[in-house]
Amino acid sequence: MIQRIRGFRDILPAESGLWQYIERTAAGLFTDFGFKQIRIPLMERTELFARSIGEDTDIVEKEMYTLTDRGGDQITLRPEATASVVRAYLQNKLYATEPVQKVYTIGPMFRRERPQKGRYRQFYQINVEVLGSASALVDAQLIVMLMRLMARLEVKDVSVHLNSLGCPECRPAYRKALLAYIDGRAEVLCSDCRRRQQNNPLRVLDCKVPDCRDAMAQAPAMRDHLCDDCQAHFEACCTMLQRQDVPFEIDNRLVRGLDYYTRTTFEIQTSALGAQSAVAGGGRYDGLMAALGGPALPATGFAIGLDRLVEIVAQSVPGVADRHQRLPDLYVAALGDASQQQAYLWLCQLADEGIWAEMDFEDRSLKSQMKRADRLGAPWTLILGERELAEGRLVLRNMQTKQQQPVSLDTVVPELLGHLKA
């Protein structure tokens, strides 16, 4: 038997209700804040990710699913969504009609990482982007939206971690100070950090290796090197969060390793799964438009790890998966060909009215069909066979109370709607 690819997984029908609930909740919240959905391709030219993520990153060097198509083009399954959203914004010249675009997208990403619990090679993200605005209030609004989403999903123990990465004017001085600090401790750093030392020194701050974290504990903070404009931007974001009673922790280790990331960066962390871990993260990337050949317009956004969020919601809210798994409104136990054909027609009519009715197409016994109605969790069962059709009176059974009542053959659908929509 053919097995699924390692690192991929099936999201089965029993699980999908919870996924749909989270996606609906997120989409509803974003719509309330004026965001519109954008749908982007699963595949892009490899160059898009090489230029946006960076050719010397692990994602581009080791993790992307890249192939050469028959036309000789290098194409890649998207490892993240921001680059594709920005590409769509630039290619379709959305900035010419409405410079500020507020969009979200939900879908799968692909990275060939080492599979482990909670980490898959096909994973799902919710991405939200604001393109064309430089305001610190937009940064604050994104953080507020994330906290509102966690509240709507009943996720507890959530905290905001916040930092500023400065801008091209103030970052060179910080980079110099950081390199000087790293140089004095290079011998205790891991091989990845020594490799990043020259190309991507900010990433050394983000290393999870204990020896590296200890070595970088007293590293210079970017916030001590901010220019006046970046300092004012950061303070404006913090002030607005305080005014909205959103607690946050300033975290000097919170970085993004690419040059186009600027100013505000943030993570939403939770201990819902035990150890403190990020469920969402984002920040400002004012340099990405220009890096992709477009006008030098600002942008900011965030991504939510949907796989992790589903796991957190399922664990934080007992019974939430069952609560959002829809059950049939009615089961029709039909005996014999004539009854099955009539039941089939009623099923289609009820579906047009928003009623989910199930039936058995295999001509099983009444006892077997009643057991299936119980397994499916249908609250009502309509019973009909040759005798009921001949008499023009069917039986509607309440599966909880076991009480039964007659239903006229001539008015089946209206009577059922009266019971099921009451």
> Rounded to 5 degrees, what angle do the CA atoms 359, 403, 397 make?
10
In contact, 219 and 178? CB cutoff 8 Å: yes
In contact, 334 and 342? CB cutoff 8 Å: yes
Give the list of residues 6+ apart from residue 23 with CB closer than 8 angstroms, or none: 106, 126, 306
Packing angle, helices 136-152 and 228-243, rounded to 10: 30
- Where are the alpha helices (H) located in 153-296, listed in sequence order? 171-183, 191-199, 210-215, 228-243, 288-291
Sign, CA dihedral 253-87-301-7, equals: negative
The answer for 207, left when phi > 0, alpha when psi is -120 to 50, beta otherwise, is beta
* N residues, the chain: 422
Report pTM.
0.89
Q: Please give the pLDDT value at position 257.
A: 64
Q: How far apart are CA 7 and CA 115, in angstroms?
A: 5
Phi/psi of residue 261, nearest 5 degrees: -75, 135
- Give the torsion through C-alpha atoms of 386, 389, 390, 396, to 10 deg: 100
Query: Using the 8-state DSSP alphabet, how is residue 394 labeled?
Result: E
- Where are the alpha helices (H) located in 125-170, listed in sequence order? 136-152
In contact, 89 and 131? CB cutoff 8 Å: yes
Q: Please give the pLDDT value at position 261.
A: 86
Q: How far apart are CA 169 and CA 132, in angstroms?
A: 20
Q: Please give the pLDDT value at position 186.
A: 80
Q: How far apart are CA 118 and CA 311, in angstroms?
A: 8
Classified as helix, coil or strand, 3 is: coil
In tens digits, what is the pLDDT along the chain, a chain of 422 residues? 999 999 999 999 989 999 999 999 999 999 999 999 999 999 999 999 988 877 666 677 778 999 999 999 999 999 999 999 999 999 999 999 999 999 999 999 999 988 777 789 999 999 999 999 999 999 999 999 999 999 999 998 899 999 999 999 998 898 888 888 888 888 888 887 887 777 778 888 878 788 888 888 888 888 899 999 999 999 999 999 999 999 999 998 888 766 678 999 999 999 887 766 889 999 999 999 999 999 999 999 999 999 999 999 998 888 887 788 889 999 999 999 999 999 999 999 999 999 999 999 998 999 999 999 999 999 999 999 999 999 999 999 999 999 999 999 999 999 999 888 86
